Amino acid sequence: MPPMDTAPMDTEGPAGAGEGTLLKGAEGTNIRPSATPTTPTQPMKQIGIPGGPPHPGTSILPSVQSQNQQSQMPVSPLERPGSPVEPVQQMRTKNSERMVTLDFNNVDLQTFIKFISELTGKNFVIDEKVQGKVTVISPTKISVDDAYHVFLTVLDLKGFTAVAENKVIKVFPSREAKQSGVSIVTDERPLPPDENYATRILHLNYISATELSRLIAPLISKDGSSIPYSQTNTLILTDIKSNMAKLINLINELDTEPPKGKGGISVYYLQNASAEEMAKVLANLTSRAPARPPAGQPPQDAVVHFEGGISITADKATNSLIIMASPEDYERLRSIIEKLDVKRKQVFVEAAIVEMSLDKTRELGIEFRSTDNPSATELSFAGGTLLSPAGKGISTFAGNPLGVSGLVAAGIKGTMTLPGTDTTVLNIGALVRAFQSDSDINILSTPNILTLDNQEAKIIVGQNVPFITGVSQTTGGNVQATIERKDVGIQLKITPHTTESDLVRLDIYQEISDLAGKVAVGTNQEVPITSKRSAETSVVVRDNETVVIGGLIKDDIIVSDSKVPLLGDIPILGYLFKYQSRQKKKTNLLIFITPHIIRDSDALSKISYDKRKKAEDFRKKYKFELKDDFILNPPAKHPSPSPLP
């Protein structure tokens, strides 16, 4: 092996020493390597290294111990007898405690590697591509471990790296490191101390591996790489040791759990509101909100500003909102959502739809008038004709229903006295039971429905009748009719709107339709004729009060024949033996509606219990059995819901 081109010198530096950079040993011995390495006088002998023969084009630099065992090889100046720095003594001292001063000026890189090999006792295999000059300036003493780190830094600057394999450190170009069996470590395990290049497998917890790879790509050295594996959210990072440490520190800062509601993407689980409806409201709000004013301009008062780039998606399965926004925008949206995501009140609507004769209507109108107390139970009217609530206007309707055009409505508060009796009733149920015994009153329907505040409720009781909407002729000459089915019967639509003062505004649409006969259309085609009565209005009534809507009058012509059998059927002469009468009957359609505001579970349980109790009373009265699972229990008390965090 060629000896290092150095000459031992004392601390004074005797005259005649060659020019070069001073190298101070562990004991303060001065060693000055020549500026130009001396050409070896004999070829270097290869030393056997565990793990197999060296690759072609590489040279093997033995450690200090290997040189002592090879007597035929030239002795390094660090090992010469009498030298102030004894190699055996250096090996006994820990590398972290041994101090040296590195000072090289434009020396050959392989010479510098040889010096590090002798200093640390490590075996090196050097690729033939490892060439170049090195300058190292170290004005202060450093440990041998630090000297080795300086060595790895020099290699990195020159585009080379060191990789340990089978007790040998291979030195070769960094661009070949990824294909040369670099060490692979996982997560927090330390990197190999003798290597300058390694691959670390990082298992990420919060940040996406793909996103992280994109973020750190500009920070990776030219020969490094980062490969994301999305299936396990793992990042495979390959780089030099010095840069690897910086990247790991950065990754640890990025891969942390974001504060709740502070991340770029947040999920908000709604407690009461519909996610789809909430997403529409927020999307409309953010699209119309003005952008944040430029710097230096004061913001507008009472205006919510968003930074922009907000995306809101509703997940119907979990009733949640997926919000992508900046932390500031998310906080604004969260405050709005918390105010909108409140438990909505419900409204239980009782209704009775009845037909009665004008005489019975007049009687009922008089009873309505008797309950009219302007100081406590003042009546309210709505419809085509707005009657005066202070002028006892219901009496006008009761006295002459035909003289009132449009729709008439009256509100009932408290009790009402049934016509011809001394009985007072408080609700629609009692009213219906009283009407059942009157032949002049026909109860068409008594629907009950529960709906959310501001949510439309719809009840349809009737038939789905086919109507011919068109006729076409086939190629064979057959006539084919196009059928469309329509609902015929009773249709009631109610949308309640509650207020904090126990008032309920009811948007009501009522329609009564029935078949009135058939008419011939074309050849052998008949289509049904329907009659329809409808009313649409809005009224305001207090909780648990009843509102009645009337004025839908219908004319019924009743034809009755009385005749002598057989003789009455003779044409023309038969009129002498029969009597025919035509009676015109007017009926009025009245709609009684009572809303009940449901604020909590206890109120809902009470109404449910009352309805089941009525069913039980009906069973006992008519003596028939219900199913075994019909158990009447008193309403249970429900605990108040805990406030949302």
Can you tell me the mean pLDDT for 50-56?
40
The better pLDDT of the pair 360, 22 is held by 360
Q: In sequence order, what are the residues at sequence separation of 6 or more whose Cβ sits closer than 8 angstroms to the Cβ of residue 344? A: 272, 273, 452, 453, 454
Answer yes or no: is pLDDT of 406 > 50: no
Q: What is the pLDDT of residue 601?
A: 82
Answer yes or no: is pLDDT of 257 > 60: yes
Answer yes or no: is pLDDT of 623 > 70: no
Q: What is the pLDDT of residue 523?
A: 62
pLDDT tens sequence across 494-545: 999 998 888 999 999 988 888 877 777 666 677 778 888 888 888 898 888 8
pLDDT tens sequence across 154-179: 888 888 888 777 778 888 887 776 66
Q: Please state which of the ranges 235-249, 404-418, 476-490 shows the lowest mean pLDDT.
A: 404-418
Which of 520, 536, 517, 537 lies closest to 528 in space, CA to CA? Answer: 517
* pLDDT level of residue 209 (50, 70, 90 thresholds): confident
* pLDDT level of residue 625 (50, 70, 90 thresholds): low
pLDDT tens sequence across 121-131: 888 888 888 88
Q: What is the pLDDT of residue 517?
A: 76
Answer yes or no: is pLDDT of 70 > 60: no
Q: What is the pLDDT of residue 359?
A: 56
Q: Is 313 exposed, middle or buried (0-12, 13-18, 19+ CB in 10 A)?
A: middle
Sign of the torsion formed by the C-alpha atoms of 13, 14, 18 and 24: negative
% of the chain surpassing 70 pLDDT = 59
Q: What is the pLDDT of residue 604?
A: 83
Query: Is the entire prediction scored with pTM above 0.75?
Result: no
Q: Is 492 exposed, middle or buried (0-12, 13-18, 19+ CB in 10 A)?
A: buried
Can you tell me the mean pLDDT for 597-620?
81
Three-class secondary structure of residue 508 per DSSP: strand
Domains in the chain (CATH in brackets) are 99-177 (3.30.1370.120), 183-255 (3.30.1370.120), 264-288+306-342 (3.30.1370.120), 347-390+405-599 (no CATH), 601-638 (no CATH)
The better pLDDT of the pair 537, 588 is held by 537
Averaged pLDDT of the chain: 69
CB 172 within 8 A of CB 129: yes
Q: What is the pLDDT of residue 238?
A: 83
pLDDT tens sequence across 1-21: 344 443 333 333 333 333 333
CA distance 551 to 17: 128
